[in-house]
Structure 1
Amino acid sequence: MLRRRPASAPRSAQTPTVRGARPSLRELVLAALAGGASLFSFEPFGWWPLQFLLLAYLFYRVGLGNSVKRATLLGWAFGFGWSVGAMHWLYILMTRFAHLPAILGAIGIVLLGLYMGLFGAFALGAATWLRRRWALPLGAFVMVALPVAWGVSEWMRGWVFTGFPWSVSGYAHVSAPLAGYAPLIGVYGIGVLVALCAACLVMLTQRKRLQAVGLLAALLAVGAVLRTVEWTQETGAPISVRLLQGNVPQDQKFDQAFLTSILDKYHAMITAAPADLIATPETAIPSFPQQLPPNYLESLQRFASTSGSALAVGIPLLDGPRQYANSVIALTPQPAPYRYDKAHLVPFGEFIPPGFRWFTDMLNIPLNDATRGKAMQLPFAVKDQLVLPNICYEDVFGEEIAYQLRNAPRPATLLLNMSNLSWYGQSYAIPQHLQISRMRTLETGRPMLRSTNDGATAIIDGRGVVRQALPFYTEGVLSATVRGTSGFTPYIRFGNYTFLLLGGLALAGAWLSGRNYRKKKADVE
């Protein structure tokens, strides 16, 4: 078991259980397997307590020594397994639709895992460096340095090289007690609390195990109570919505041979019945307006005007030679131009990082070099409600949605996600994305409407609960009545600054703990 050394012991005796600066191959493999098992903490499995156990195992192994190199390598292995386990479905995109050979697809997943593992390496390496630098006692290291570093590393995943924060730990807890903290500190703050719960399990091996049990129980109990708090209020009259799920096979979507049938399908689905809001998936219309049959969009506008329906249509828009955007247009009963352009683009899929055109050409993904939309874009009105679109994985970036809400002259009352995850086949990508959308509703207190090509087309209320959903991989229309909300949660007001400030204060407390520890040691000596 981990044991805190006596104050009079020499520094080299702090952690006598492990010697050497590097973990063994066996330890690295076990760390990677533990990281990979995190897949089961996310949907469709939802075994969220497993995350506490996996992180506790990692923290325990790191706590056995104070070598920065050892901690960094263990963190890298764990992060590698976490990434490969949670996002293995990217292999389907690379091989089935980008037509890479299987070996190259596997190499791509491994390279992604090695890159994503760097964030785990940073978390554990940085925490261990602070342990050595500040001479942190075991409790401060496990209970403060490791959880804060873990949360900061996940936050960094959200912006380094434009960010890819899919499957950060907080998403596993949308149905768990820790979800109550989302309106306060967001998904990254929940990640810190997840790591703190894991640290409590590690401290069960120490003398103050009762305090660890008490803290763990308190964290979960307070979260459960916070889930009962109403941060926003319903506003305006309810509106009727129809959310379309076309289930167009991905290998047909951008094939000109199928264009007419796709256009006919969505035209028929849109005009089948009126509703206050009718929404299509992302790029439901897979061609630029200039390439559509004459009067196609005009006929949709006529339907909107005669039926009193507002249409949110996913379509790419051409603005010049090789200049186009992944966009949403709104066709409303009183015609007024509205356009939303996707602002946070997918690396390699929607924008080409410098020096990687050769790679994106090999992937052969259509519309892979789009123009980035503005960070601040306004909602459009549907009767009493204001609807703010986001496209596909833009809803992974909660701080960007919060930014638009707090800076809009008239903040949105409803969020609308329009997605196409058909690139990833029948995989875990869809339930994971639904889980991400649920976190956005928890952070903002805003209901989310989701219109997707083959799932998950759903209605999520402002408390993160899926009220209605269509079966995956089917064609259908989800009809319902929804009502938006107004008011700001603390997360809308302050974004990620709250969790970063609290983390900084916690680290300051750990530094003081280390300082007092050194002083007591000096007094004894």
Structure 2
Amino acid sequence: MITRIAETLARHDRTIALAVFVALTPLLYVACFPPLTVNEAAFVFLVPFVIWLKFQPSNRQVFLVTTLVGWGAWIVIIFWLRHVTWAGMIGLSLVMGLHFSLWALGVAWLSRRSFGAGMWRGVPLAVGAAALWVVVEHVRGFIFTGFPWLPLAASQVEEPMMLQGASFFGSWSVSFALVFMNLGIASYLLRLVGYAQKRSRQICPEFYLALSFLVGTTFLQLGASSGQQREKVFRAGVVQPNIPQNIKWDAAFANKVMNEVETATRWLGPLKPDAIFWPEASLPYPLNDDGALETWGTRLATSVGAPIYAGALAVEERETGDAWYNSVFLVRPEYGLFPLYYSKQHLVPFGEYIPLRWLWPWMEKFVPIDGDFLPGETAQLLPLYLGENALRLGSLICFEDVFPSIARRAVREGAGLLFVSTNSAWYGKSAAADQHRAHSVLRAVETRRPVLRVGNDGWTGWIDEYGSVRDQLDKWEQVSTVWQISRDRRWVGKQSVYVRYGDWFVWVCWGLLICSALLARSRVLSDE
């Protein structure tokens, strides 16, 4: 009778643990990202999952439940994608849910070998879970051309102090620390329950190791942000034209679009900017397609007395036909187009090109693009002449600031500032703007370079080398203004550890994952 009652209570506990996981984890996961940005939620969103694993669910249960939890959470997170494609939003959310279930299956495997006797037996689980999270985040930056949207580190962009270790480890260390803390807190709670039941006291090494790593990586580079030696660099004029997507490429509105861009640019003239920046694809025609448009741009730059860094389409004649690019041009007063321009290197599949178009030509009926753009091949830097000196600008177009390797490459080649030219009008007045901005914050800290971000209607602002937003415009408004861009002279001409060595911490996580798996299978950490 007593055994039956105990079994019934155990089943109820298992059901309650599952219900808490299904209810709380997706809610907390969504809350930790923009637009809510409840950064504290990132420290505990996995705790219910770890507690549920205590009841040893089967692999099938783990896979099904975590896929549904991840799928549901990502539907909410990228719900803005419905403005472009409902099917794409649902399908991409499922892919992200599968990434979560992959991580969960790995953690479940570790947990079956980690719970039990031995004060240290939980350490391989905690370290392995954090390492596996980083590995999965890294992998999703490459699979199916890559969608590294909102790594867990992005949950901390409103707390720059939490990000400073990214200049050393990359933002991977922030994700590692957060997952490590989740496992540490969950283990601490489980040990408290065990202490209450058995009256046997044991410390929780997972929790203290996680706390030590968090504090250590946070304060490792935090001192660098104190005692800043800021110097003025240049006055940046920014144009946020707020052109609706439904008229942006309509030939009937081409003159209207150009007039609005010109008016907003001329308004900046009396404010004496050193340079003016336009968002992605500002003009309805390629800027280098004919002499008339180049003459128009040159006359405009000359009238305001400042070079224009223009997000615009580019076209090049080839024997096989015209080649189209999504680019950033430098239009110089009096001299016209700078001979070199930057072209977007990482294109958006089904947005800027159709992968394997020859294999499924029928996709043209569902994808709103007439032809494929071609990717750029270099991190072509553009000069900004400031008296006798020149500042080299590294350009990132829209989705590219999501990929740390592209920003890192530009800084390795000498960029002193990163310019993100973007257009989020596709996604309406949604969370996409703030979510996208979060990646620019991470890139600023990783590279220790200011980031100037100019959008058509989303988030326009500039971020210093330590992840602090210095200025910003109201979203979804037609605004032009001038900002004084500054920098910490201690980083001029210097590269962060992450810029020099790249994703070395990811390879450390691979090593930690393998070691955790081997230790979990051994009896080395057991008290038996």
TM-score scaled by length of structure 2: 0.83
- Partner-residue secondary structure (3-state), 1:238: strand
- Partner-residue secondary structure (3-state), 1:388: strand
> CA offset at residue 270 of structure 1?
2.2
Q: 1:425 maps to which residue?
A: 428
- Residues 1:358 and 2:366 are matched in the alignment: no
Q: 1:310 maps to which residue?
A: 307
> CA offset at residue 403 of structure 1?
2.3
> CA offset at residue 360 of structure 1?
4.6
Write the mapping of 1:287-302 to structure 2, written as runs, cut at 5 A. 287-289=285-287, 295-302=292-299
- Residues 1:506 and 2:512 are matched in the alignment: yes
- Residues 1:279 and 2:277 are matched in the alignment: yes
- Partner-residue secondary structure (3-state), 2:348: coil
Whether the 8 Å CA contact 2:110–2:125 is kept in 1: the answer is no
- Partner-residue secondary structure (3-state), 1:328: strand
> CA offset at residue 33 of structure 1?
6.5
Match of 2:132 among 149, 156, 165: 149
Q: 1:348 maps to which residue?
A: 350
Q: 1:262 maps to which residue?
A: 257
Whether the 8 Å CA contact 2:181–2:210 is kept in 1: the answer is yes
RMSD: 3.2
> CA offset at residue 78 of structure 1?
3.0
Give the counterpart letter for 2:501 in structure 1: F
> CA offset at residue 374 of structure 1?
1.0
> CA offset at residue 28 of structure 1?
8.6
Cα deviations by residue, 1:353-383 (Å, 9 ceiling, x for unpaired):
224543353132x466210111443343332
> CA offset at residue 218 of structure 1?
3.1
Range moving further from structure 2, 258-267 or 269-278: 269-278
Q: 1:455 maps to which residue?
A: 458
- Residues 1:47 and 2:38 are matched in the alignment: yes
Looking at structure 2, the residues matched to 68 and 53 of structure 1 have their Cα atoms a distance apart, in angstroms, of 23
Looking at structure 2, the residues matched to 42 and 186 of structure 1 have their Cα atoms a distance apart, in angstroms, of 19
- Partner-residue secondary structure (3-state), 1:90: helix
> CA offset at residue 112 of structure 1?
1.8
Cα deviations by residue, 1:226-259 (Å, 9 ceiling, x for unpaired):
4533289879861111011001111111111111
Give the counterpart letter for 2:362 in structure 1: W
Percent identical across equivalent pairs?
Answer: 25
Looking at structure 2, the residues matched to 375 and 448 of structure 1 have their Cα atoms a distance apart, in angstroms, of 19
- Partner-residue secondary structure (3-state), 2:38: coil
Shift in CA distance, 317/147, structure 1 to aligned 2, threshold 3 Å: same
Looking at structure 1, the residues matched to 16 and 204 of structure 2 have their Cα atoms a distance apart, in angstroms, of 35
> CA offset at residue 512 of structure 1?
5.2
> CA offset at residue 460 of structure 1?
0.9
- Partner-residue secondary structure (3-state), 1:389: strand
Whether the 8 Å CA contact 2:364–2:370 is kept in 1: the answer is no
Q: 1:180 maps to which residue?
A: 164
Shift in CA distance, 438/520, structure 1 to aligned 2, threshold 3 Å: closer
Write the mapping of 1:433-472 to structure 2, written as runs, cut at 5 A. 433-472=436-475
- Residues 1:206 and 2:198 are matched in the alignment: no
> CA offset at residue 18 of structure 1?
8.0
Q: 1:4 maps to which residue?
A: none
Whether the 8 Å CA contact 1:450–1:458 is kept in 2: the answer is yes
Shift in CA distance, 377/290, structure 1 to aligned 2, threshold 3 Å: closer
Looking at structure 1, the residues matched to 110 and 51 of structure 2 have their Cα atoms a distance apart, in angstroms, of 17
Give the counterpart letter for 1:353 in structure 2: P
Give the counterpart letter for 1:160 in structure 2: I
Match of 1:167 among 147, 150, 164: 150
Whether the 8 Å CA contact 1:238–1:482 is kept in 2: the answer is yes
TM-score scaled by length of structure 1: 0.84
Give the counterpart letter for 2:246 in structure 1: D
Shift in CA distance, 391/128, structure 1 to aligned 2, threshold 3 Å: same
> CA offset at residue 138 of structure 1?
4.9
Match of 2:396 among 375, 384, 390: 390
Shift in CA distance, 362/507, structure 1 to aligned 2, threshold 3 Å: closer
Structure 1 unaligned blocks of 5 or more: 1-15, 95-104
Q: 2:93 maps to which residue?
A: 113
Shift in CA distance, 131/203, structure 1 to aligned 2, threshold 3 Å: closer
> CA offset at residue 178 of structure 1?
2.9
Whether the 8 Å CA contact 1:170–1:187 is kept in 2: the answer is yes
Q: 1:88 maps to which residue?
A: 79
Give the counterpart letter for 2:326 in structure 1: N
Write the mapping of 1:324-343 to structure 2, written as runs, cut at 5 A. 324-333=324-333, 335=336, 336-343=338-345
Whether the 8 Å CA contact 1:376–1:404 is kept in 2: the answer is yes
Looking at structure 2, the residues matched to 444 and 220 of structure 1 have their Cα atoms a distance apart, in angstroms, of 21
Looking at structure 2, the residues matched to 25 and 357 of structure 1 have their Cα atoms a distance apart, in angstroms, of 50
Shift in CA distance, 26/194, structure 1 to aligned 2, threshold 3 Å: closer
- Residues 1:491 and 2:501 are matched in the alignment: no
Looking at structure 2, the residues matched to 401 and 227 of structure 1 have their Cα atoms a distance apart, in angstroms, of 20
> CA offset at residue 266 of structure 1?
1.1
Give the counterpart letter for 2:465 in structure 1: G
Q: 2:70 maps to which residue?
A: 79
Looking at structure 1, the residues matched to 276 and 477 of structure 2 have their Cα atoms a distance apart, in angstroms, of 18
Give the counterpart letter for 1:43 in structure 2: P
Shift in CA distance, 50/42, structure 1 to aligned 2, threshold 3 Å: same
- Partner-residue secondary structure (3-state), 1:285: coil
Looking at structure 2, the residues matched to 156 and 304 of structure 1 have their Cα atoms a distance apart, in angstroms, of 43
Shift in CA distance, 356/377, structure 1 to aligned 2, threshold 3 Å: farther
- Partner-residue secondary structure (3-state), 1:459: strand
- Partner-residue secondary structure (3-state), 1:229: helix
Shift in CA distance, 124/85, structure 1 to aligned 2, threshold 3 Å: same
Shift in CA distance, 32/231, structure 1 to aligned 2, threshold 3 Å: same
- Residues 1:401 and 2:407 are matched in the alignment: yes
Q: 2:173 maps to which residue?
A: 189
What is the total number of aligned residue pairs between the two structures? 487
> CA offset at residue 323 of structure 1?
2.4
Looking at structure 2, the residues matched to 510 and 30 of structure 1 have their Cα atoms a distance apart, in angstroms, of 25
Range moving further from structure 2, 347-356 or 298-307: 298-307
Shift in CA distance, 359/135, structure 1 to aligned 2, threshold 3 Å: farther
Range moving further from structure 2, 218-227 or 181-190: 218-227
Looking at structure 1, the residues matched to 204 and 53 of structure 2 have their Cα atoms a distance apart, in angstroms, of 22
Whether the 8 Å CA contact 2:425–2:457 is kept in 1: the answer is yes
